[in-house]
Amino acid sequence: MMEIVVGKYAGFCYGVSRALKIVRENSGKQLRTYGAIINNKEVTSELEAQGVHCVHDVDDIAQGDTVVIRSHGVPPQIIGALESRGVEYIDATCPDVKKIHIIVQQARKVGNTVIIAGNPLHPEIVGILGYAGDETIVVSDEDQADLLVPEMGKSYTLVVQTTFDNKKFDKIAGILAGKIEDLDINNSICPSMFKRQLEADELSKTCDIMVVIGDRTSSNTSKLYEICTKNCENTYLIETKEDLLLNIQKQDVRIGVVAGASTPPSTIKEAVLLMSTLESNENTQEQARDSGLENQSFEEMLDKSFRSLHTGDVVTGTVISVSNGEVSVGLGYKSDGIIPRDEFSANPDDDPAKLVKPGDDIEVFVVRVNDGDGNVMLSKRKLDSQKSLLALEAAFEAKEPVTGKVTEVVKGGVIAMVDGIRVFVPKSQVSNRFINDDKLAQLVGREFTYEILEFDRGRGGRNRIVGGRRALATREENEVRDRIFDRLEVGSQAEGTVSRITNFGAFVDLGGIDGLLHISQLSWGRVKRVQDVLTEGDKVQVVVLSANREKGKISLSLKDVREDPWKTIDEKYEVGQLVTGRVVRMATFGAFVELEEGIDGLVHVSQIANRHVAKPEDVLSLGEELTLKVINIDKENSKISLSKKEADAPIDDYDDDDYDDYDDEDYDDEYDDEEADDVDTGADADAE
């Protein structure tokens, strides 16, 4: 019993199918192909019979000819020569080969030397060399890689012929990586070639006979033959059915069939049908039919090699070109697909040329199979929107937050775009604090996290999606507050930004929660206005005076403890010493006199004159220079008491009780922070 197994990846690859489709669609023109359109004599002979002749020199092109560039590609000099002569040309270069052209061009721009793994005489390599530059190195095997001596300190980029043996390339790349410190390795072997080679390797291990079908000059066919011979000694390489001479010595035999990327479906069909006649087996005939190789014309089999498409399909294609914002996509279909600029992304600022390049795989939504000009109308934006909608629905069900940017203010709230989907955020849900209507506009352009509160798929795409961040903002603030309080220690330093200034001090944002910097803590000297020292937005290094987690209040200071003038007070002043100072402020219980920056002393009302004084201002005036006597120093509490009456006219019957009559707490009244005790130092609203 004979079993014939035809490889799934046997026959035309996408690049070859695309090149032949281009020729067929332009059959009404006077066509020439620059070089063989594909590496198969049978196909090129058939095209010659149809009047499509092959040329190898620009000078051989006649007036009125339209030139189709071969699937292997050509050097840029050929393109330049065609354009300078005004020759119409159609580029049928395989997208995978185009991708290599882009890689080597970019390598050349940054000064890298290009190394190509492949056959230097292969037309694909000839084309790549034109883009890679004169210094390009071509290695065809491991021995040549061993002999290569890289230039010290130079960077290299490695690419590989699309039809090269993948295992051999891995060995070459390993050898070069051991020699070159800065080597950019690009495995540019065509994905379908890799799958074809892998299939041939696996199939040849399980078959008694392997038949490799393809042109003997075809690189990928040669690779398949080389792979199969390693696993199956009865391996045959044939170009057509006429070359088929199988040596079958047993009845139960399993025959594997693989074919190169340039092998026509008709050639495979004829070979398989001929093998099946070696034994009239109904199962074998049925298998041939199941393989799609029943009686068909070449055109019918070529058409069958293309995928079928329907409106609404989601498919993966290959970017062919990007021009003026329009993306052309190869779909493995008889027509290419087009993504218009406005269907590429929901963001009008996105430039397709910066996001995709020829050779990239791209997933798209089929809008129309025929747009009227024979192209398939595609949309990436619609597919992205569908995915985003599903992601939003999943976030709604899982109660997970999402991130969106506010794009506009509408009646009753704002619109936030979340991955291209419009989400309505009511005004009451914009923040966990009250937001004025005039402040909503300040949110436009800013990103926030939201919870999806409502998700309703309406008819005709009229979805109702409502988001909010009121509860989320509260949780975020609490988390931030907890983190900040966890790291704050009294006496430690912290960095912050001045967020708001008041008449009694400034609020400093410590990373999500505000601390109060009282005016008395701005300097060791006297500060009349906070604005004289700080402005909103200033970066400041502060000292933590206190941190109350329960009340959410933090007190800060700008004073540097190392510059504290009270540390050396006893070195500068002593009791009984006469000093001079300036009256800086009045209180009901006395006057404060500045002796130096940061040192204020108190002249109690009882120490102003040798008589009863009802109010300090009855005798003294602000700014007045006085000579005073030091009568007490309290270094621990930063207090110094002064006397004018003793300095003016000391009297023998002075009673120290006059000094003791007033309470030291009066001294602290001027530093009372009570004015700010009820101020919430928590984080401001997100929108503020």
pLDDT digits (tens, 9 = 90+) for 300-340: 444 544 557 788 888 888 888 888 888 988 887 767 789 99
Nearest 5°: the CA angle 572, 584, 522 is 75
Helix, strand, coil percent content, the chain, rounded in steps of 5 = 35, 30, 40
Average pLDDT over residues 235-245: 85
Alpha-carbon distances, residue 174 vs 135, 146, 613 (angstroms): 22, 10, 98
Residue 302 pLDDT: 44
Local confidence band at 287 (pLDDT 50, 70, 90 cut-offs): very low
**Which strands form 53-55's sheet, in the order they lie side by side?**
53-55, 31-34, 66-69, 88-91
Q: Look at residue 448 and tell me whether its pLDDT is greater than 60.
A: yes
Local confidence band at 186 (pLDDT 50, 70, 90 cut-offs): very high
Asked if residues 453 and 442 have their Cβ atoms less than 8 Å apart, the reply is no
Asked if residues 158 and 115 have their Cβ atoms less than 8 Å apart, the reply is yes
DSSP 238: E
State whether residue 95 is helix, strand or coil.
helix
Nearest CA-CA partner of 234 in 212, 256, 266, 209: 209
Q: How many whole angstroms from its chain centre is CA 209? A: 51
Local confidence band at 642 (pLDDT 50, 70, 90 cut-offs): very high
Lowest mean pLDDT, pick from 145-154, 475-484, 655-664: 655-664
Average pLDDT over residues 657-677: 45
Tallying the residues shown for the chain, one arrives at 688
Residue 438 pLDDT: 78
Q: Do the bridges between strand 113-117 and strand 137-139 make them parallel or antiparallel, or are there none, so unpaired? A: parallel
Which comes out higher in pLDDT, residue 364 or 277?
364
Nearest CA-CA partner of 74 in 125, 28, 38, 117: 125
Average pLDDT over residues 374-388: 86
Handedness of CA 207, 208, 214, 215 (dihedral sign): positive
Residue 661 pLDDT: 43
Local confidence band at 657 (pLDDT 50, 70, 90 cut-offs): very low
Which H/E stretch holds residue 221?
A: helix 219-231
Q: Look at residue 422 and tell me whether its pLDDT is greater than 80.
A: yes
DSSP 62: P
- Tell me the pLDDT of the chain averaged across its residues: 83
Residue 370 pLDDT: 74
**40-82 pLDDT per residue, tens:** 888 888 888 888 989 989 988 988 899 999 999 999 999 999 9
Asked if residues 339 and 317 have their Cβ atoms less than 8 Å apart, the reply is no
Q: Look at residue 679 and tell me whether its pLDDT is greater than 50.
A: no
Please list the active-site residues: 124
Structure tokens at 88: 């119409």
DSSP 449: E
Alpha-carbon distances, residue 679 vs 32, 39, 555, 617 (angstroms): 85, 83, 11, 33
State whether residue 94 is helix, strand or coil.
coil
Which comes out higher in pLDDT, residue 402 or 244?
402
Which comes out higher in pLDDT, residue 150 or 243?
150
Q: How many whole angstroms from its chain centre is CA 396? A: 25
Q: Look at residue 205 and tell me whether its pLDDT is greater than 60.
A: yes
C-alpha to C-alpha distance for 101 and 57, rounded to whole angstroms: 21
Handedness of CA 184, 190, 192, 195 (dihedral sign): negative
- Please name the amino acid found at residue 499: S
C-alpha to C-alpha distance for 112 and 293, rounded to whole angstroms: 48
Q: Look at residue 451 and tell me whether its pLDDT is greater than 50.
A: yes
State whether residue 270 is helix, strand or coil.
helix
Local confidence band at 670 (pLDDT 50, 70, 90 cut-offs): very low
Q: How many whole angstroms from its chain centre is CA 626? A: 70
Contacts of 61 (CB under 8 A, 6+ apart): 32, 55, 67, 82, 85, 87
Alpha-carbon distances, residue 345 vs 325, 362, 365, 391, 422 (angstroms): 11, 13, 12, 17, 14
The burial of 650, by beta-carbon neighbours within 10 Å (0-12 exposed, 13-18 middle, 19 or more buried), is given as exposed
Contacts of 599 (CB under 8 A, 6+ apart): 565, 566, 569, 640
The burial of 570, by beta-carbon neighbours within 10 Å (0-12 exposed, 13-18 middle, 19 or more buried), is given as exposed
Q: Do the bridges between strand 337-339 and strand 361-368 make them parallel or antiparallel, or are there none, so unpaired? A: unpaired
Lowest mean pLDDT, pick from 102-111, 521-530, 584-593, 594-603: 521-530
Structure tokens at 621: 């005036």
Lowest mean pLDDT, pick from 52-66, 222-236, 553-567: 553-567
Local confidence band at 373 (pLDDT 50, 70, 90 cut-offs): low
DSSP 486: H
CA-based max dimension of the chain: 144
C-alpha to C-alpha distance for 188 and 118, rounded to whole angstroms: 11
pTM: 0.43
Q: Look at residue 289 and tell me whether its pLDDT is greater than 70.
A: no
C-alpha to C-alpha distance for 11 and 556, rounded to whole angstroms: 78
Q: Look at residue 114 and tell me whether its pLDDT is greater than 90.
A: yes
H runs (alpha helix) in 339-380: 352-355
Local confidence band at 466 (pLDDT 50, 70, 90 cut-offs): very high
Which H/E stretch holds residue 88?
A: strand 88-91
Residue 250 pLDDT: 64
State whether residue 479 is helix, strand or coil.
helix
Local confidence band at 296 (pLDDT 50, 70, 90 cut-offs): very low
C-alpha to C-alpha distance for 44 and 54, rounded to whole angstroms: 8
